[in-house]
Amino acid sequence: MGLRRVFGVTMSEGVHTRTGKEYGPWAASVGLASAVLDQIPRSIDSFLDVGCCYGYLSYVVRTQFPSVTKIVGVDFYEPYLRMLEKFRFFDKLVKWDLCQVPLPFKDREFDAAVAIDVVEHLPKEAGSRLLVDIERVAKKVVVTTPNYWNKNERSTLDGNDLQRHQSLWRIKDFRNRGYKVHGIGYRPPFQSMAFILPMDSKVPWLCATILAVK
């Protein structure tokens, strides 16, 4: 797909090639986005981005998936939503507390939905309820979440308290729900494995990020 070209970022520097400005959030997420979007059929008509944050996945879907006609983003942090309104690659943006279900959508309204690094920001029970409801509204669901806890997980990002991590998810949590589980990247102390195994690994317990597909 050439996501580095699509995002216009230099991975080593996290710099936007067209503006020369630092754009760390998108640059750091290119590898994750590529692995996630490889799981989504190019023929989808509708796409739901749950906890859309900077909207980088939806941007790629808008520009690279020719058949898509509806992209909806959901987030609860007003500054993210205001920023995304300016870019206009979402057809609709919904401000919604993800601890509250059901989501304001019909059953199977979307061909695909993603929740990228979202569930760990909710208490475990709330995250479980959210997954059930995403499965209700979408025909295909792709979820990612960190595979380990580190000392920085209680920190905030962008001054957004909702970015604090509140739960840790395990591979079995997703397999028990019927998800097929892969991994992305490598967690400490397995980073050297990147030279042996691909980034999207079928040995998820080694990986930094769980990639779950249903």
Within a domain: 4: no
* Residue appearing with tokens 């999207």: 200
pLDDT score, position 1: 40
CATH number at residue 67: 3.40.50.150
What residue numbers bound the domain in which 58 lies? 39-213
The reply to whether 71 falls in a domain is yes
* Degrees, nearest 5: CA angle 69-174-73: 25
| 179 within domain boundaries | yes
Q: Say whether pLDDT at 18 is over 50.
A: no
More confident residue, 34 or 8: 34
CA atoms lying within 13 Å on the CB side of residue 182:
18
Domain membership of residue 83 (yes or no) is yes
Identify whether 138 is part of a domain: yes
Count: domains in the chain = 1
Kindly report, residue by residue over 32-45, the tens digit of the pLDDT. Answer: 888 899 999 999 99
Mean pLDDT of 138-143: 98
Q: How crowded is the C-beta side of 154, counted as CA atoms within 13 Å?
A: 1
User: What's residue 193's pLDDT?
Assistant: 56
Buried b (16+ CB within 10 A) or exposed e, 156-194: eeeebebbebebebebebbeeeebebbbbbbbeebeeee
pLDDT: is 24 or 75 the higher one?
Answer: 75
- Identify whether 29 is part of a domain: no
Share of the chain above pLDDT 90, in %: 56
User: Contact 105/130 with Cβ under 8 angstroms?
Assistant: no
75 part of a folded domain: yes
- pLDDT, tens digit, 9 for 90 and up, residues 26-81: 444 667 888 899 999 999 999 999 999 889 899 999 999 999 999 999 999 999 89
133, part of any domain? yes
